[in-house]
């Protein structure tokens, strides 16, 4: 959330989390213009969310909201969709009541909007993927929570002075201080640093998947560039309102074939080509008894290994055997020209992980 409160005549940022988190843990500056509040449970209902937000000093001055909350609660596609629509609605209704100057609501979705989960059943549209493509067909469309969230925002924004924008990344390389089980950069960083310790400097490490996954093109985005686009889109509602925008580091995408040598080299390893028999999750579980010693020897943050889903990493690197690169011409067309080498985003995340002792 960003606020322009008249009582202080300055712009400030209010960050909200559910799990406990301090600015120090998040590597955020000790600046009075940045406030961080934990314990905001968006699933508690609109009234309870409103009661929690009402305690925040300056909440009434909020003008821009950047919503990227997700919950894995719920059973199956329908349960998860219902839970995520509810947290969005609870948050929005509470903010509407408390923030009369609300101007823009940015919400983040992802590649599920293009049906990646059902690629083995319905395929993937012609690449590069464009925001103008129709929604995937039923019965699969009813399983996409992002469609339901978009429809909710479209409904609730009618006749209101605030606007909404959908920001649509695919894979995000970033640093999460509180451990996100599905954070690709964290899982990769932990695996590669642990593998290097076990196998020694200069050891070879094969790409854990088939050739098709190794060479398939996709559009990753670093957390910093993604954040910059969120801000850009929110400051130009005349160009972005009620629309979706792909976002990525490189206009022509990337591939694991390009990324793997550089990412492994960072840890003193030699990345080699695909080996379908090599399984990251199996390797980590085989060495699970060694985790506590490794953490203690290097003085690392406890619990990071246990809270990381290496099965998710294995699946993402082994099963995404189709091209899914994005067309970024729409975001370029509204003036957002920032680009970045995708490798740099991962390396930045690894450096931050080292700083907080998630990896040595």
**288 Cβ contact partners less than 8 Å away, ≥ 6 residues apart:** none
**296 Cβ contact partners less than 8 Å away, ≥ 6 residues apart:** none
What CATH number is associated with residue 40? Answer: 3.40.50.720
- For residue 280, give the nearest of 238, 327, 313, 246 by alpha carbon: 313
Under the banding of pLDDT at 50, 70 and 90, the label for residue 9 is very low
The reply to whether 136 and 119 lie within a common domain is yes
Domain assignment present for residue 95? The answer is: yes
- For residue 188, give the nearest of 323, 292, 283, 108 by alpha carbon: 283
Q: What is the mean pLDDT of the chain?
A: 94
For 276-334, how does the pLDDT look when each residue is reduced to its tens digit (9 = 90+)?
999 999 999 999 999 999 999 999 999 999 999 999 888 888 888 999 999 999 999 99
The reply to whether 136 and 196 lie within a common domain is no
CA atoms of 215 and 211, how far apart (whole Å): 6
| Environment class of 230 (CB within 10 Å of its CB; exposed 0-12, middle 13-18, buried 19+) | buried
Tokens 């080292």 — which residue?
354
pLDDT value of position 4: 57
The reply to whether 140 and 271 lie within a common domain is no
The reply to whether 11 and 135 lie within a common domain is yes
CA atoms of 132 and 176, how far apart (whole Å): 32
Q: Is the pLDDT of residue 335 over 60?
A: yes
Sign of the alpha-carbon dihedral angle for 297, 302, 308, 311: positive
| Domain hosting residue 9, numbered range | 2-169+222-246
CB contact burial 1-16 (16+ within 10 A = b; e otherwise): bbbbbeeeeeebbbbb
Helix (H) or strand (E) holding 274: strand 270-274
User: Terminal CA-to-CA distance of the chain, rounded, Å?
Assistant: 33
The reply to whether 152 and 208 lie within a common domain is no
pLDDT value of position 183: 83
pLDDT value of position 181: 67
- For residue 91, give the nearest of 30, 41, 37 by alpha carbon: 41
The reply to whether 53 and 180 lie within a common domain is no
Count CA within 13 A, CB hemisphere, residue 196. 19
For 153-186, how does the pLDDT look when each residue is reduced to its tens digit (9 = 90+)?
999 999 999 999 999 999 899 998 877 767 889 9
Number of domains in the chain: 2
Domain assignment present for residue 332? The answer is: no
SS3 297: helix
CA atoms of 102 and 180, how far apart (whole Å): 29
Q: Which two tokens stand for residue 170?
A: 């695919």
Secondary structure letter of residue 252 according to DSSP = T
For 39-78, how does the pLDDT look when each residue is reduced to its tens digit (9 = 90+)?
999 999 999 999 999 999 999 999 999 999 999 888 899 9
Sign of the alpha-carbon dihedral angle for 309, 313, 315, 320: positive
For 233-260, how does the pLDDT look when each residue is reduced to its tens digit (9 = 90+)?
999 999 999 999 999 999 999 999 999 9
With pLDDT > 70 as the criterion, what percentage of the chain qualifies? 97
Choose between 337 and 3: higher pLDDT: 337
pLDDT value of position 179: 72
Under the banding of pLDDT at 50, 70 and 90, the label for residue 1 is low
Q: Which two tokens stand for residue 116?
A: 């990646």
Tokens 């490189």 — which residue?
250
pLDDT value of position 177: 85
Domain assignment present for residue 22? The answer is: yes
The reply to whether 294 and 155 lie within a common domain is no
| Environment class of 20 (CB within 10 Å of its CB; exposed 0-12, middle 13-18, buried 19+) | exposed
Domain assignment present for residue 266? The answer is: yes
pLDDT value of position 170: 93
pLDDT value of position 3: 60
Domain assignment present for residue 47? The answer is: yes
The reply to whether 92 and 201 lie within a common domain is no
pLDDT value of position 10: 58
Q: Judge whether 12 and 5 are in contact, CB under 8 Å.
A: yes
The reply to whether 106 and 212 lie within a common domain is no
Domain assignment present for residue 115? The answer is: yes
pLDDT value of position 6: 43
pLDDT value of position 8: 45
Sign of the alpha-carbon dihedral angle for 11, 248, 172, 155: positive
């Amino acid at each position: 959330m960003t606020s322009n409160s008249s009582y202080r005549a300055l712009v400030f940022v209010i960050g909200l989390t559910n799990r406990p988190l301090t600015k120090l843990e998040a590597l955020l500056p000790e600046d009075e213009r940045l406030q961080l509040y934990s314990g905001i449970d968006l699933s508690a209902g609109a009234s309870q969310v409103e009661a929690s937000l009402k305690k925040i000093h300056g909440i009434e001055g909020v003008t821009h909201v950047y919503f990227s909350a997700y919950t894995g609660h719920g059973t199956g596609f329908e349960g998860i969709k219902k839970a995520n629509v509810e947290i969005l609605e609870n948050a929005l209704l509470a903010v509407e009541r408390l923030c009369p100057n609300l101007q823009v609501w940015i919400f983040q979705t992802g590649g599920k909007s293009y049906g990646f989960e059902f690629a083995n059943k319905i395929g993937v549209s012609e690449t590069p993927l464009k925001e103008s493509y129709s929604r995937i067909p039923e019965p699969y469309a009813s399983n996409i929570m992002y469609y339901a969230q978009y429809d909710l925002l479209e409904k609730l924004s009618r006749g209101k002075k605030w606007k909404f924008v959908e920001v649509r990344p695919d894979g995000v390389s970033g640093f999460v201080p509180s451990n996100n089980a599905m954070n690709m950069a964290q899982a990769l960083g932990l695996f590669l640093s642990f593998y290097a310790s076990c196998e020694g400097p200069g050891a070879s490490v094969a790409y854990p998947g088939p050739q098709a996954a190794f060479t398939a093109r996709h559009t990753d985005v670093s957390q910093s560039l993604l954040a910059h686009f969120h801000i850009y889109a929110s400051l130009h509602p005349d160009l972005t309102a009620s629309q979706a925008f792909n976002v990525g580091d490189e206009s022509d995408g990337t591939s694991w074939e390009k990324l793997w040598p550089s990412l492994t080299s960072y840890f003193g390893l030699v990345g080699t080509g695909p080996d379908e028999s090599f399984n990251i999750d199996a390797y980590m579980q085989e060495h699970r008894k060694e985790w506590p010693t490794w953490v203690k020897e290097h003085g690392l943050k406890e619990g990071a290994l246990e809270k990381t889903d290496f099965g998710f990493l294995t699946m993402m690197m082994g099963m995404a055997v189709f091209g899914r690169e994005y067309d970024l011409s729409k975001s370029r067309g509204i003036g957002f020209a920032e680009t970045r080498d995708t490798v740099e985003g991962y390396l930045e995340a690894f450096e931050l992980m080292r700083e907080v002792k998630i990896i040595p």
